[in-house]
Structure 1
Amino acid sequence: MSDHASHRQFDGTLVTAPFGGENVERTARDEYRTLLDEHDSEDVLVVTGAPTSTDTFRGALGTELPGAATPYVTSLVVHATDVLNQTDDRVILSDALRRELLHRFLADYEWETEYLQRASDQPSFIKDVDAVMGTLSWQTITPEETPELRDITAALDAFHEWLAEHDHMERGQLISEALDVLSGDARDDVVDFEAVLAVEFEEFFPLDRAYLDALAGDCDLVCIAEENASVRRTWVESGPVTDYVSFSESRCGASEAPSTRPAATAAYFAEETVPVDPEAGSVSILATDSSDEQLAEVANEIEELVAQPNWNYGNIAVATKQSGSTVTDTIEVLERTGIPAESTTVTGFGDDPAIRELLAVVRHLAADEEDEVPDRGPELDTERLDRVSDIYSLEDAVRWWATDSGLKERIAERSTPLDARAQFGNVRRAFRMAEFLEETEFVDATWESFEDMLERAHEYAPQQNQTSATDLDDGVRVDHLQAIKNESFRAVFLVNLVDGEYPGDPFLTRLFPTERVASMPDYPGVTELHEPDVDATFPTTSTASSRPFARYHTEHARRRLAVGAGAADEHLYCCLYEYEDTALEERAQASRFLTEVYNRLSWVTEADDPHITSEQAAEDFLLSRVDDALAEVRRANSRDVTVSLDDLEAELGEVQDLLDKSGARGEELRKALRARVEFANGEVRR
């Protein structure tokens, strides 16, 4: 998609900041201060590329304002939403409702191309088409060469028309629809500022750049682009953003050497520069045997950090390469060990006990009398269910059931405050779905429809939600690397740093084979590539592959690591495992990028042997160590060798200290230990 036809001329200033969050914030403060010499703070609009980074820039620029004044900071998507809320009566669908309607729209859709007709029989087809449609919608791209992509675009246009007939639109239309408003007579009604400062300009898509141009109009415009840092835009457009734009004035922002080891490591990932050791902060490699042990070790290390004064869970992030199930699996492991976790890219809808309970009720009410009532979920009060079924309104019925069954009280009693807030949020989302069914003409307001909608929301919970920032409540942040760009955490854990993941294989969609996608000139992603495209986009060289497509996606994976490492203020943990979780226990290679930084940067060290700091870790260690010791003794017995118990005694001493402090819980673990020994000795049977 690297087509320079979208070249745009801006009347304003482009400031390029050298790679690194410190340089970007320093440059943003300098430019903001200059704008404040000419304008009041309420007349300067600051626009970010992503909703997740608005808080970062609000905080960084707030230091330039006196007292309690706060900068006027928003993101492109949020600004476009505000414009349409003022000028358009159409309802903007949430991601969950849009997905539900798209499923229903595509269920009987007649595809033109034979390939899509055949593919539509696959269970994952709608999910896969949905992902491609989402990209087309957000970028307003019209493929012209590939018949299947033209077919998908026609379906997307028909879907948008269907939504418009019912006065709805999807979030992917926000920028393009708001651009129409800003390009028309209503612009003066929605624009109330004199200057625009655009940060993260390196991530602006062609459509975003058109929106910014219309938004700025005759106002003073300053754009800040970070060099060698684009991950979102370079997924769909190669080269630096400066290849696609011209400004009346250009200059370089302030540059200083990285002040911490995590920042210096990020700079090496991004540009292969070897900075002087900043001697502040730490970069540790956390290696374990298996991927399960890797997450257990991460949880243990997190507990050790928050045990220190002035640390809390909100100071810490765990970053994965992809969104979806990788994020939800990580959240699940952390929460099982008692660590609160949260995410901006996935909802907890899929594993929320409150939603499971609500879903069981809806399944029961949706079942015909002849149907066998599903036996999934908790026991239900049939008398209460009979009363619910007599209530005419779906929304009133589910709200009454939640109140009468004491669902809210039970959430509050059984959950930590953070979990309770998340579960209340999910229940409110379910209420909104019921309300939507009542108000829309798209779908019948029946228990069957509500069941379909809840089931699908439950199934799709791990899907990426790229359109809005989520309110966060100070748990450990778990997200994919791109989502933490320009945020800062005292400690960041980059997980799964094995070669199969970084770089892994190039992957754009499940809808078409990778080789086919690589040759599609009009696919909404970087596909047809030549050597100069790779060299213009990345200064790094990490692989000997002669194929530009493979090289490009290898360097892109490396840059994502740079963005993740840059989010760590004090401690960066690079986590990996030695064996894949397969029956064959295949050995996993350390990521080539990690091997390189370990060899080139003197401050990247292997983590110390971890201390046992959490009860979960103590339990796992204690029981597994006892098993290992008993096995060792049995082996020694059969081979007639001597075993020293001194090492075992020393290792268990640390656990013993923790158990002594754990009161009743410690006693439970001691009982588990005794039971383990008795079982091993054959004194008891399972």
Structure 2
Amino acid sequence: MASQEPTLQGTCTLLAEPCSSDALFDHIATEYAALADEYEPQNVLVLKRHPAGLENLTEALAAASTADDTPKSPRVESLPEHASKVLEEHDPTLDRLEYEERIELISLVIDGASRDVPAYLERASDHESFARDVGQLLLEATRQQLGLTDVEAEEPRESLAFLYAMNDRFHAVLEEREYVERADVVPQTVDLLEGDVGGLRTRVTDSIDAVLAVEFEEYRRLDRRYLAALSEDTALVCLGERHASVERTRVEPGCIEDHVGDGLTVEILDPRRDCRETTPASRSPQQAVSRFLATGACPQDSADDSPQHSAGADPGHSAGDGSRSDGRKLESNVADGVFRIRTQTAAEQVSTVASEIQALRDRHGWGFEEFAVAVPRIERVPETRRRLREAGIPTATIGTPSLAEDPVVHELYAFVTLQGERERRSDRVDAELATEDARERASSDQRARGPIDPRDPTTEPSDVALERLRARVDGLSLETVESCSHSRVSRSLERWIRRTDLKGRIAREEKWVDAREQFASLRRVLEIARFVEETDLVGPDWQGLRRMLRRTIQYDAPYVHAVDAQPPTGGVTVCAIDDLKYDTREAVFVLDLIDDAYPGEQFLTQLFPTAWVREMPTYPAVTDPSVEDVTATFASADPDGIGDPFEAYHAQRSRRRLALGARAARSALYCCSFERGAGGLDRTHDVSRYLQLLESARGSDLPTVEPETTAAIHGEQNALEAVLAQPHGELERIVREASTGGDADLATTEELFEEIALVLAHDEIDDELADAVRSQFEFAAGEVIRNE
């Protein structure tokens, strides 16, 4: 059942527009210091809506100046984390459903459904992202406490009604098994606090005299109910920013002050006048861009200018989705700290970013930890991070990547498969492992057949497993496999890890970031194995473990569990742009500034066509906004330029994401785009409409970063590409000089080629690399013709 509107009692301060993260932290620290002086630091609870940026916030509050200037250990938690602790206090025996368990249980509920699966969902289930999209929809429905009874009156589409029915059944099964899933933690805790069940609210609030609610613009209706229940007998101070909500506005239109009722006294501050934003450094070009993207207003020299549009302002430029500026030109000094990177492909985009990071380090002495590379979606993190590291840039982002991409998971899954096949057909499998001759014959036969295709229905699972294990473990034998046998699958896996020295191999062969992630994946697989031994969802054997691992690998999404963007060893942060909201770096590179990403086309889900989503009033998001909703929620929207309110509404959310990412840049902001996909025949990508709008408002293009041909080359991949490009590059230079009547300096070319020859003659140079460079000289000389 949809939750009611809460009644909050206290004060709320909203900054009139997004300001720099440094200024925001200063303002929060000032409010915290006042509360700490009045109530003592240990009695002030600071609640942030989202966990991203929690560490930075804690550090800022710990440094806040109080009257007695004593050391402080502020109580700072995200709202979901605090709700989880409260629920555990109510029932310490409650079993929280883990990610993998949720996947398996939902699958079993759907498999056992009495309702027929709609034909559309049957077809859609073939798509790779189907399970993740369904899971995301059900999570959101759970957070908003929506069930089938809430939507039946709206006559929802058959597919949506089926999924809501499955979600209801799923939660009934959870209740029977005394599980609670993470999306249900806040709803359940709200009910317990509001009813003061067993005196829970009294116990929880006994040590809390004041609550400081941070990031208040993102508090949804259920979050506000939680806050109202928690602060019923305490002082409440809310801090937020107007024009900064991305997540709340996904499900709820309007500004936050329109939803808080009369019990909360709201004050709106202009950060340029009332906060640290009055300093010249904080009124930087990067903040000018952020302000423009968030509100559509161009900054002026005076701090007294309103960030809102005046009633008679020229609507200015339109981006085709209702976006506008106020018709004035951006200050010329925007070019001083905001730059463009344009490349042909996405790979070249990352390569150019890597070169610019090195150039900035050489120029300013910044550490790698002072850089952030922001991508539109978390799924883009692994590839971007990999390309940066190939270019010699250490990256700091650590998380749990998709299990399907982890070689350790593939090895353990192959071992599980092999053990399962040995249970079924031990003679055949053991024969291939028994002797060296048999192993050699199997390898020879496999080379003759070519690579095994796991998707081929005629391929034996044991053949795939053996191929993967032989590629990972030298001298794989029957004795090795048999020595790992145990009646419990988890113990057998532990023996494999020890006897094949899997942890040692990870430590020796992988870079520390990959090693840390692979150790995390290893722990996850062991946890799944232990769960299989305890649950009745699947059999406690190899077949049950293989089934659960297969589902988890298939449905898993990259970095859905945890991301640590600031590990102690340092490195460039690679993250989704949303994670920069409470962060600050010297230089921020915003990647993929193309219209397919900002704003994109599928705003809410890939599960249903957008045309369907527009007609789903019971979908757990804003699907039918009016023009008034768009303009009331987004100051950057021009009512005269709105064609389709649905598209305009969610496109404005994308523009706001860019604004919040841009403000994280302290000294330099780079707007990066590429024209084509990986292949030359891929379609051309248009530059993001918001980047075009920014340059239009400025009156000229942003200065473009050109690759420095004389810059130092960093990284093995960059060095390899540079060496391979030299023969053609020099030939083109000589031909170009000759065609224009100039004199080509052959001495420079001879000197360069002599250096390359000396490098190739070195004993440690890989033979394949040497052959590749020589072939490039042959191509350039016309001695070899490519066979097209």
Distance of aligned partners of 1:626 and 1:75 in 2 relative to their CA distance in 1, 3 Å threshold: same
- Do 1:506 and 1:550's aligned partners in 2 also have CA atoms closer than 8 Å? no
- Do 2:42 and 2:74's aligned partners in 1 also have CA atoms closer than 8 Å? yes
In the alignment, what sits opposite 2:723? 622
Q: Aligned to 2:773, which of 658, 662, 673?
A: 673
- Do 1:90 and 1:169's aligned partners in 2 also have CA atoms closer than 8 Å? yes
Give, in angstroms, the shift of residue 91 of structure 1: 1.9
Equivalent residues in 2 for 1:310-389 (5 A)? 311-324=366-379, 326-341=380-395, 343=397, 347=401, 349-367=403-421, 368-369=424-425, 371-375=460-464, 376-379=467-470, 380=473, 381-387=476-482
Q: Does 1:224 align with 2:321?
A: no
Q: Aligned to 2:13, which of 12, 15, 19?
A: 15
Equivalent residues in 2 for 1:41-440 (5 A)? 41-64=41-64, 66=69, 68-88=71-91, 89-111=93-115, 114=118, 118-119=122-123, 122-124=126-128, 125-142=130-147, 143-144=150-151, 145=154, 146-148=156-158, 149-183=160-194, 184=196, 185-191=199-205, 192-246=207-261, 247-253=263-269, 255-256=271-272, 257=277, 258-275=282-299, 276=301, 282-306=337-361, 311-324=366-379, 326-341=380-395, 343=397, 347=401, 349-367=403-421, 368-369=424-425, 371-375=460-464, 376-379=467-470, 380=473, 381-387=476-482, 390-440=485-535
Give, in angstroms, the shift of residue 551 of structure 1: 1.3
Equivalent residues in 2 for 1:539-554 (5 A)? 539-541=635-637, 544-554=641-651
1:259 partner amino acid: R
CA distance in 1: counterparts of 2:417 and 2:404, whole angstroms: 16
Identity value in percent: 30
CA distance in 2: counterparts of 1:647 and 1:462, whole angstroms: 54
The SS at the match of 1:10 is: coil
2:350 partner amino acid: L
CA distance in 2: counterparts of 1:346 and 1:99, whole angstroms: 17
Q: Is there any run of 5+ residues in structure 2 with no aligned partner, and where?
A: 302-330, 429-459
The SS at the match of 1:520 is: coil
Give, in angstroms, the shift of residue 73 of structure 1: 0.4
CA distance in 1: counterparts of 2:752 and 2:11, whole angstroms: 64
In the alignment, what sits opposite 2:610? 514
CA-to-partner distance for each residue in 1:79-101, whole Å, 9 max, x for gaps?
A: 11212222222222232332233
* Comparing 537-546 and 478-487, the one that deviates more: 537-546
CA distance in 2: counterparts of 1:565 and 1:498, whole angstroms: 16
Give, in angstroms, the shift of residue 313 of structure 1: 3.2
CA-to-partner distance for each residue in 1:331-381, whole Å, 9 max, x for gaps?
A: 232233343435477625333332232222222222232655133424152
Give, in angstroms, the shift of residue 251 of structure 1: 1.4
Give, in angstroms, the shift of residue 416 of structure 1: 2.5
CA-to-partner distance for each residue in 1:195-245, whole Å, 9 max, x for gaps?
A: 110111111111111111112221111111211010111111111111111
Give, in angstroms, the shift of residue 287 of structure 1: 0.7
Distance of aligned partners of 1:652 and 1:572 in 2 relative to their CA distance in 1, 3 Å threshold: farther
CA distance in 1: counterparts of 2:371 and 2:209, whole angstroms: 38
Give, in angstroms, the shift of residue 525 of structure 1: 1.0
Q: Which structure would you say has the larger Rg?
A: 2
Distance of aligned partners of 1:635 and 1:571 in 2 relative to their CA distance in 1, 3 Å threshold: closer
In the alignment, what sits opposite 1:494? 590
1:622 partner amino acid: V
1:606 partner amino acid: T
In the alignment, what sits opposite 1:485? 581
Q: Does 1:528 align with 2:624?
A: yes
- Do 2:372 and 2:573's aligned partners in 1 also have CA atoms closer than 8 Å? yes
The SS at the match of 2:667 is: strand
1:322 partner amino acid: R
Distance of aligned partners of 1:652 and 1:52 in 2 relative to their CA distance in 1, 3 Å threshold: farther
Give, in angstroms, the shift of residue 613 of structure 1: 3.2
Give, in angstroms, the shift of residue 534 of structure 1: 0.4
Distance of aligned partners of 1:123 and 1:525 in 2 relative to their CA distance in 1, 3 Å threshold: same
Distance of aligned partners of 1:176 and 1:349 in 2 relative to their CA distance in 1, 3 Å threshold: same
CA distance in 2: counterparts of 1:50 and 1:655, whole angstroms: 58
* Comparing 106-115 and 395-404, the one that deviates more: 106-115
Give, in angstroms, the shift of residue 68 of structure 1: 4.7
- Do 2:403 and 2:558's aligned partners in 1 also have CA atoms closer than 8 Å? no
Give, in angstroms, the shift of residue 318 of structure 1: 1.7
* Comparing 224-233 and 587-596, the one that deviates more: 587-596
CA distance in 2: counterparts of 1:351 and 1:444, whole angstroms: 26
Q: Aligned to 2:653, which of 553, 556, 559?
A: 556
Give, in angstroms, the shift of residue 46 of structure 1: 0.5
CA-to-partner distance for each residue in 1:172-193, whole Å, 9 max, x for gaps?
A: 1111122233222222233331
Distance of aligned partners of 1:289 and 1:446 in 2 relative to their CA distance in 1, 3 Å threshold: same
CA distance in 2: counterparts of 1:52 and 1:186, whole angstroms: 28
Distance of aligned partners of 1:24 and 1:440 in 2 relative to their CA distance in 1, 3 Å threshold: same
Give, in angstroms, the shift of residue 574 of structure 1: 0.7
CA distance in 2: counterparts of 1:340 and 1:222, whole angstroms: 41
The SS at the match of 1:557 is: helix
Distance of aligned partners of 1:672 and 1:390 in 2 relative to their CA distance in 1, 3 Å threshold: closer
Give, in angstroms, the shift of residue 113 of structure 1: 7.0
- Size of the aligned set, in residue pairs, is 678
* Comparing 513-522 and 5-14, the one that deviates more: 5-14
Q: How much is the aligned-residue C-alpha RMSD, in angstroms?
A: 3.5
1:363 partner amino acid: T
CA-to-partner distance for each residue in 1:47-102, whole Å, 9 max, x for gaps?
A: 11111121121122111154653211000111112122222222222323322332
Give, in angstroms, the shift of residue 517 of structure 1: 0.7
CA distance in 2: counterparts of 1:203 and 1:558, whole angstroms: 16
1:314 partner amino acid: E
The SS at the match of 1:397 is: helix
The SS at the match of 1:363 is: helix
Distance of aligned partners of 1:208 and 1:222 in 2 relative to their CA distance in 1, 3 Å threshold: same
Distance of aligned partners of 1:650 and 1:551 in 2 relative to their CA distance in 1, 3 Å threshold: farther
Q: Does 1:37 align with 2:126?
A: no
* Comparing 326-335 and 569-578, the one that deviates more: 326-335
- Do 1:418 and 1:475's aligned partners in 2 also have CA atoms closer than 8 Å? no
Q: Is there any run of 5+ residues in structure 1 with no aligned partner, and where?
A: none
In the alignment, what sits opposite 2:707? 609
CA-to-partner distance for each residue in 1:142-193, whole Å, 9 max, x for gaps?
A: 4412154333222112112222322322111111122233222222233331
CA distance in 1: counterparts of 2:255 and 2:747, whole angstroms: 57
CA distance in 2: counterparts of 1:407 and 1:274, whole angstroms: 57
Equivalent residues in 2 for 1:627-666 (5 A)? 627-630=728-731, 645-646=744-745
CA distance in 2: counterparts of 1:303 and 1:407, whole angstroms: 35
CA distance in 1: counterparts of 2:732 and 2:113, whole angstroms: 61
Q: Does 1:476 align with 2:567?
A: no
The SS at the match of 1:27 is: helix
Give, in angstroms, the shift of residue 15 of structure 1: 0.7
